[in-house]
Chain A
């Protein structure tokens, strides 16, 4: 974990925010004593729970930066995976090479690789599998010369499908790694 001065300062701010927010009394009991139907509102109201605001992250969270849309000729496209696999299929290697080239040609751009899975299997396992797919793409990019510090990973498991059918045609499109580029500097 990064323990830079700045990070410590943010932690202190976080702690202060927690203390300030911590004394909130719980909301009054729902006057609808029998409870059914209360699912339509959070117990904590539309503003949600009180707690610290923005979270200090160790280092920069790329996804908070301005998105960059690569030009079509860069050939940036999702990398598709086989069922339950995190190895990049040979037919998909070219897409990783395109992403590596785009990053090398645009030294100010950074990347979040987003790993995704099809709906089969449990959510928790798919979250790990999605992360593994993202890491696999990240490792391939680093092997091709991209600085490791320019690539972050995120897994959405089976929670962010692009195809909503329940057959192989949809599953194939959901087992993928997406490239999300951002302006780093």
Chain B
């Protein structure tokens, strides 16, 4: 059983979990003191010393989450010292609603300022901090934000024969199960807007794709064809679902009608198997895996001409699988090089498209990449010591960040959402 039924058991496990792994986000948000040293390329120092809390727990939480988000964005180096490239000032205090935050940023030698105000219930303090961090990233750094996005993943607790779908914030906080099927659950994929997702569950006794609406707390069935129903992912423009089915005795890619979920089109007709569809940002093309060439490889196909195009011609990458098309048009995929799997990034618009290894060559496996909405970070599954867990990689060179889930088990197959609509006006 995945979830303890009795509060006492739940409390004990909770206590163990806290003892094993102290709260992830604030620990990672330790101030980096910058004093006249050269900053890493592409980063600005940001002074938080003049942004004051009122000594309350909610204010302290807001400030630690904000600081950590700014650091995780990759564009800022937070500091308590004055004189950063960017200075934050203002107040964060408890209010009747829960929390009231007023944050003013000053940058470009004082020539630019911007103020954000936020009221939040106590339970929404993290969301408020994520939203302010995103606004600073968007307005001050001029970059795509990601702090308000969330990550879905498969969780299989130690010793369990079943798995569930879990979600956490982009900073790794608030991990929580979002299904309780008590069976095999796999392949979660966010829908555009980050309010709902699709996944494959064996809850009916055989593989079935469900769509979960997190806001409404309900689900629908999307696909329950005989055989396999796998890898369902929604087109960002048309809403049509690309899916792997095994109709007609063959494993192929199909399209489901966005309104009725009925099979609307068959995209491949190979004698070999296909897997892992992912839509391009404009919804006009798909990346997917086929072993039509004798080994599994990533191909792309535009809906207009339906011609498979092999993505990678690199002799050192013997197999390529698990593609995901990122928001800026690059494709991340998992390549088998020697005995190991590594995550690579390639721009399919370039000719030749040369893949660049993103994960370290450290003798462990990195698989199943998924892009953050900032188009800069990629979350993937790392397998080390026969344990699977999530790691965030940075295409601009910041060191890998492990998402620590405070419960023993395997955590894998991540899907990173878009940033929703939660940034501030």
Contact = CB atoms under 8 A, between A and B. Distances in A.
State whether these chains interact.
yes
Contacts of A35: 126, 173-174, 176
B184 A128 contact: no
B121 interface: yes
Contacts of B319: 121
B218 to A, nearest CB: 5
B178 A36 contact: no
From DSSP, what is the main secondary structure of chain A's interface residues?
Answer: loop
Contacts of B272: 132
Contacts of A27: 217
A16 interface: no
Nearest to A135: B249
Interface string A82-98: 00101000000000000
Interface stretch (A66-74, A101-109, A152-160): A152-160
Given A124-B321, A138-B249, A1 B262 contact: yes
Contacts of B124: 29
A169 interface: no
A166 interface: yes
B251 to A, nearest CB: 5
A135 B251 contact: yes
Contacts of A118: none
Given A36-B23, A39-B177, A50-B218, A29 B275 contact: no
A61 B226 CA distance: 8
Contact of B175 (A21, A39, A48, A54): A39
Given A50-B218, A57-B204, A124-B276, A37 B321 contact: no
B100 interface: no
A38 B24 CA distance: 13
A112 to B, nearest CB: 8
Q: How large is the interface on B (under 10, 10 to 19, 20 to 34, 35 or more residues)?
A: 35 or more
Contact of A86 (B273, B295, B334): B273
B295 A64 contact: no
Given A36-B23, A49-B218, A128 B205 contact: no
B9 to A, nearest CB: 9
Interface string B404-423: 01110000110000000000
A28 B194 CA distance: 20
Contacts of B336: 121
Contacts of B227: 131, 135, 152-155
B216 A61 contact: no
A58 B226 contact: yes
Interface in A131-184: 131-132, 135, 138-139, 152-157, 159-160, 166
Nearest to B244: A128
Given A37-B406, A50-B218, A154 B244 contact: no
A171 B381 CA distance: 20
A122 B321 contact: yes
A124 B246 contact: no
Contact of B275 (A25, A39, A124, A160): A124
Interface string B216-230: 111111001111101
Contact of B221 (A21, A50, A52, A155): A52
B204 A51 contact: no
Contacts of A57: 204, 206, 224, 226
B177 A41 contact: yes
A128 B224 contact: no
B4 interface: yes
Interface of A: 1, 14, 18, 21-22, 24-27, 29-31, 33-52, 54-55, 57-59, 61, 63-64, 84, 86, 121-125, 127-129, 131-132, 135, 138-139, 152-157, 159-160, 166
| 6 cross-chain pairs, A with B, having the tightest CB-CB distances, nearest first | A35-B174, A29-B123, A48-B180, A42-B180, A128-B275, A42-B177
Given A30-B123, A38-B176, 18 more contacts: A1-B262, A24-B216, A34-B23, A35-B173, A35-B174, A36-B18, A36-B23, A36-B24, A39-B166, A40-B17, A41-B10, A45-B180, A49-B219, A58-B224, A124-B186, A128-B273, A159-B163, A159-B186
